[in-house]
Amino acid sequence: MDMGLERLNGLLLEMAVLSEKAVSVSIEAYSKGGKGAEVRDMGERLQALHRHVSDLCMEILARYQPVASDLRYIKACFEISYGFFRYGRYAVDIVEVLDMFGDLSRCDRSAVVEAARKTQEMIRMSVDAFARRDVTTARQIPRMDDIVDESYRRNLKKVLEGKGNLKCSLSATLVMRYLERIADHATYIGESVDYIVTGVEPPG
């Protein structure tokens, strides 16, 4: 079973690196202009890795019937794998916004870029928390999630009030929504790390 768990950890670390890169490339494409075509390839790779992780989790459960901390780890790994996969999926969604709206160079993208910076920090923290089983870092992530949520709400309010260019406002709202969802998954990953280490089930 140890070899299976080691393989599981390796797959998740591979997903961590790839998912962080996918989001980074998609945000760079939004903030500086570009297509981010490689993001789709990364998204597909993350989906394949998530399926691999799921299959490996089921195989370990069926063959070894783990208990206690091993069972807890396997359960959490499935959730973490899904979170990394969703990072990639939302990165693809951001790139699709660029394809849909075209040139956004005349838009004020500062609010989105700032929210993206905070979201990317949360991603790095979630990856680091998993790699080092760092509960302290994991527990800092939800407070940052509140900041991203508030950025999204402020932007949505601006759209509803009809302020600004419609194309710029709609594209920013979509990207901010995907960032908000990425931030949520970073929080879930942090909770899963906490669960691995402490054995306390995440709330809800």
Q: What is the pLDDT along the chain (204 residues), one digit of tens a residue?
A: 778 889 999 999 999 999 999 999 999 999 888 777 899 999 999 999 999 999 999 999 998 887 788 888 999 999 999 999 999 999 999 999 999 998 898 998 998 999 999 999 999 999 999 999 999 999 999 989 988 999 889 888 877 887 778 899 889 999 999 999 999 999 999 999 999 999 887 766
Token reading at 102: 């075209």
Distance CA 88, CA 70 (A): 27
The reply to whether 65 falls in a domain is: yes
Closest to 93 in 3D by CA, of 165, 132, 42:
42
Q: Does residue 15 fall inside a structural domain?
A: yes
Looking up tokens 């998912």 gives 19
pTM, two decimal places: 0.92
pLDDT value, residue 54: 95
Question: Does 69 map to a domain?
Answer: yes
DSSP three-state, residue 200:
coil
Measure the CA–CA gap between 71 and 91, rounded to whole angstroms: 31
Quick check: is 80 in a domain? yes
203 domain residue, yes or no: no
Inside any domain, residue 82: yes
The C-alpha atoms of residue 31 and residue 188 are separated, in whole angstroms, by 27
In a domain, 204, yes or no: no
Range of the domain at 128: 2-198
* Residue 168 in tokens: 């710029």
Whether residue 58 is contained in a domain is answered as yes
25 neighbors 38 (Cβ within 8 angstroms): yes
pLDDT attached to residue 52 = 97
- CATH number, residue 17: 1.20.58.220
What local confidence, expressed as pLDDT, does residue 204 receive? Answer: 60
Alpha helix stretches (DSSP H) within the chain: 2-32, 38-64, 68-101, 110-132, 135-138, 141-160, 166-198
Residues constituting the chain: 204
Q: Residue 92 corresponds to which amino acid?
A: V
The pLDDT of residue 68 is 81
Whole-number Å distance between alpha carbons of 187 and 195: 12
User: How many CB atoms are closer than 10 A to CB 117?
Assistant: 13
**Number of separate domains in the chain:** 1
